[in-house]
Structures are given as C-alpha cells and as structure tokens.
Amino acid sequence: MNWNDDSWSNSGARNHSRPRSSRSLGLILLGVVLCAVVLYLNRGFLYGKPPSGEGVSIIATDLIVHGDGNIDASETTRVDLRGKSVRHGITRPLPLQVETQDGRQLKLRYFDAYATIEKVDNPPYAPSTTDVAREDRKNFAVYRIGSPTTALLPGLYDIKFQFGVSGLVHSLQENQRRGFSWNVTGSVGYPVGESVLRISLPSSVDPHSASFTGFLGVTRNPEELKKAYNPTSLSSDISMAFEPAANGDLPMVVFRPNRYLRPFEQFIIKATWPAE
C-alpha cells in the first residue's frame, strides 16, 4: 500500500461528494485497525516474550568470588542457530580495563579460558569441548568460541564459557569495603529471553551484610555507561533472592530481570561488602 501524499491527494480529488468529516472518520478507523494489527504482531514485546527466531533464549552466569579477589566465571548461553547469521559460534568481549567510581583505572587479566558446546534439541549431541581463540582489540579481549572451520547444524545450543579474572575486585569507601561490577549481557545484538546472575561471595563474607545495586537498560555514551556500572539502587526490573549453594556453604545471591532484554540492553550488577 502506498501512503505518499500524491496518492492521497488524487484519491480526495476523485471523490468530491464525500464529506470531509467522513474521510476523517475513515482515517481514524483505519488508524485504529492498523494499530491493533501492529500490537498483535508485537504482542511478545508487550508481554515480556522476545520475538521468535534466531537469537539468545538464556544467559546464565555464575560467579565465585575468592578471598584473594580472583573470580571464577561460568557463562552458559543458549542460542538459536536456526537462522543464517550465526554459523560457527559466538564471540564474548571482555574489558581489559575498567574505571572505578572514583576514577581509578583497573587493569584486568583473564586466564584458564575453556568452553564446551552442546546441542539440546533434536537430535541432541553430548557436550564437547570447542575452540576458544582470543584477540585483543583496543580495550577488550574478544573471545571467539566455536570452530572457525566447522559449521554448526541448525538448532538450539548451550555454549558454556568458563574463565578466571583478576584485578576486578577493588577497595571502596576509603578501604572500608570491597566490591566489583559485572555486566551479564555485554553487547548482545539479539533479544535475550531469560537471564540470571548468581554470585557466591568469599566464604568469610556473610552475603546478608553485602549491598547490591543494579542497572537494566540501554546506554548510549561512555558517561552513561560509567553511571550504569555504578548504580545507586537496584532497578525495579531486577529481582534479588538468596538461594542455597550447591556445596552447602553460605547462600548465593541471585539476580533475575523481570522481563526479556532488548538487543544491546545492559544487565549490570554491582556488589560491595565490608572489607576483612
């Protein structure tokens, strides 16, 4: 259908007998119908369900924070590779340097990177190790997870990426507290159906004595991103709960957005606790 001005003007010139009010009413009714169609087609966006098709259905991150400040990270991403743009795997950019709230620059080091890939729909395949290649670009270490020579069959895959990071946990408030910020989603260019972050603090720290803030949204410039990494409260779109740890230690702190995430939306949690 052509909505340019010429076609509308010509249509009006051919029908001099139609009253202006009738034409206006017809336009209003047509607009209502079109809005209803658009809302129906995008009902997933309205009710928290991402659109179907190629994309990311789950991102689940587990962090174990050790007393020396090192963090063991495990990220499981469930990706739908039934489209055409993803064939070999995924990339995960990780910052090599971050700025603290008081302006200090923290240099990060990553180690022991390891990944597995598992097809979870029919026909399923058992988990297997896959290639992990690192390329440093400006302020990021970009990890390519997947075989560069072997294409994956269309389907649903769980890609599990494990690594260690040092230098992220730092002192705060004149050495009275320690803490760090974590971006769960990075820069995912697809909608994310579900996401969760589970944090296990050092064994000497009672998680109930820690404080947590969080940001959920799209940042558009470096200044906004800096604020997003240092939120002053927990977003109302993020729920927090204490859940038992698998090993019976102190409980984990678990964060879940209450809705799906739009492309390039940031899910950031900041955790701080009393210094030992």
Q: What is the pLDDT of residue 198?
A: 97
Q: Point out which residues pair with 241 in neighbouring strands.
A: 254
Mean pLDDT over each residue of the chain, to the nearest integer: 81
Nearest to 98 by CA among 16, 169, 159: 169
Q: How far is CA 11 from the centre of its chain?
A: 48
Q: What is the mean pLDDT of residues 201-209?
A: 92
**Which residue, chain included where needed, has tokens 């009393």?**
274
Q: What is the mean pLDDT of residues 77-91?
A: 78
Q: In which band, very low, low, confident or very high, does the pLDDT at 12 lie, cut at 50, 70 and 90?
A: very low
pLDDT per residue as tens digits for the range 238-249: 999 999 887 667
Q: Comparing 35-39, 140-144, 176-180, 219-223, which segment has the lowest mean pLDDT?
A: 35-39
Nearest to 185 by CA among 224, 158, 218: 218
pTM above 0.75, yes or no: yes
Q: How many CA atoms lie within 13 A of 187 on its CB side?
A: 10
Distance of alpha carbon 58 from alpha carbon 192, whole angstroms: 6
Task: Kindly provide the b/e burial profile for residues 61-90, where b requires at least 16 CB atoms within 10 angstroms of the residue's own CB.
Answer: bbbbbeeebbbebebbbbbbbeeeebebbb
Does domain 55-274 bear CATH number 2.60.40? yes
Distance of alpha carbon 131 from alpha carbon 144, whole angstroms: 8
CB 194 within 8 A of CB 49: no
Query: Under 8 Å CB-to-CB from 7, ≥6 apart: which residues?
Result: none
Residue 56 pLDDT > 60, yes or no?
Answer: yes
Distance of alpha carbon 216 from alpha carbon 231, whole angstroms: 10
**pLDDT above 90 covers what percent of the chain?**
52
Q: What is the pLDDT of residue 2?
A: 23
pLDDT per residue as tens digits for the range 57-80: 999 999 999 999 999 999 999 988
Residue 49 pLDDT > 60, yes or no?
Answer: no
DSSP code at position 276: -
> Which carries the bigger pLDDT value, residue 214 or residue 28?
214
User: What distances in angstroms separate CA 223 from CA 15, 178, 230, 269, one per listed residue?
Assistant: 56, 23, 11, 17
Q: What is the pLDDT of residue 245?
A: 80
pLDDT per residue as tens digits for the range 256-276: 999 999 999 999 999 999 997
Distance of alpha carbon 67 from alpha carbon 136, whole angstroms: 28
Domain boundaries, the chain: 5-41, 55-274
CB 262 within 8 A of CB 193: no
pLDDT per residue as tens digits for the range 125-175: 888 999 999 999 989 999 999 888 888 888 889 999 999 999 999 999 778
Q: What is the pLDDT of residue 126?
A: 83
